[in-house]
Amino acid sequence: MSPKKLKPQYLGVIRREKRKSPPRVQPRFNISRPGMVLLKGFVKPEDQIGMVSMCRQPGPGGFYEPSFKNGAKLNLWMMSLGKNWDPALRSYGPTRLFDGAQAPTIPDAFKMIAQTANSTASEFPQINPDVCIVNYYTNSGKLGLHQDKDESKSSLAKGLPFISISIGDTAEFLFGDTRDKDQATKINLESGDVLILGGESRLLFHGVSHVKTNTAPSWLKEEMSIRPGRVNLTFRQY
Ligand code: SIN
Ligand code: MN
């Protein structure tokens, strides 16, 4: 993907990384739970850099600090691509209420990466993503345990998966059968990891307890240097 030309120093780093690392066998973890697949380090470094740089491009519909219905902040920055998701109304629409901005389209390059991950985890049906919610967490960012259940009835009934891509600093990610964080399982989501939740796990409770400062890969740090933290993109079919 080439939203802008990669700076030569990145290409050098990526080539060096490739020379150092043994041939990649795609690591994959099922986390012993039907409907949940974690593809470790799935997104290539150049694609991670490309995704971050595209998310940075300012324009209408860009990042804002959303609130719930009760006025409480979500502790992250968000933008919606494809359709706008409103966390206060818990619904999707073409524009967002507070500034009237239309949701920007999902870049084809983003869709391609999500769909490649989707087909790699072949137990899931293939989705055609029409929504991508991008969250940006600073190092004090977090997200309480919740279910993703605002998509269409048919999408949820079919258990169509959503595909979650993590870039930047590592998150401690929680998941479980209830909203109780003490009973939740904790895993690390690192830069390049793809988590897919579908089928029986489509309505799993999940959240981010914290983001670990200064844990992004060194080759990504320069791209993230102005705003260190974590970017998460979830792709869904409404
Ligand atoms: C979300 O549940 O919307 C995002 C989860 C994450 O940031 O990993
Ligand atoms: Mn969610």
The CATH number covering residue 100 comes to: 2.60.120.590
Q: What is the edge-to-edge ordering of all strands in the sheet holding 143-146?
A: 143-146, 205-211, 171-176, 185-189
Q: Is residue 160 in some structural domain?
A: yes
Annotation: binding site for Fe cation: 146, 148, 206
Cβ-count burial 12-32 (b if 16+ within 10 Å, e if not): ebbeeeeeeeeeeeeeeeeee
Q: What is the DSSP string of 107-167?
A: PHHHHHHHHHHHHHSTTSPPP---EEEEEEE-TT--EEEE----S-HHHHHTT--EEEEEE
Inside any domain, residue 96 = yes
Residues with CB under 5 A from ligand 2 (ion): 148
Contact indicator for 65, 140 with CB cutoff of 8 Å:
no
Ligand 1: lining residues by beta carbon, under 6 Å:
135, 143, 164, 171, 173, 189, 206, 208, 232, 234
What is residue 12's predicted lDDT score, i.e. its pLDDT?
Answer: 56
With respect to residue 99, please indicate whether it lies within any of the assigned structural domains: yes
Atom 3 in ligand 1: residue holding the nearest Cα: 234
pLDDT along the chain (238 residues), means of 10: 52 54 64 92 96 90 94 94 96 95 96 97 96 97 97 97 98 97 97 97 98 95 86 98
In a domain, 11, yes or no: no
Length of the chain: 238
Other residues' Cβ atoms within 10 Å of the Cβ of residue 192: 20
Is 4 a domain residue? no
| 71 domain residue, yes or no | yes
| Position 183 in a domain | yes
The number of domains in the chain is 1
Which residue do the tokens 């209420």 mark? 97
Structural domain includes residue 106: yes
Q: How far is it, in rounded angstroms, from Cα 95 to Cα 163?
A: 23
Longest dimension (CA), the chain: 52
93 neighbors 199 (Cβ within 8 angstroms): no
Q: Domain of 57?
A: 26-236
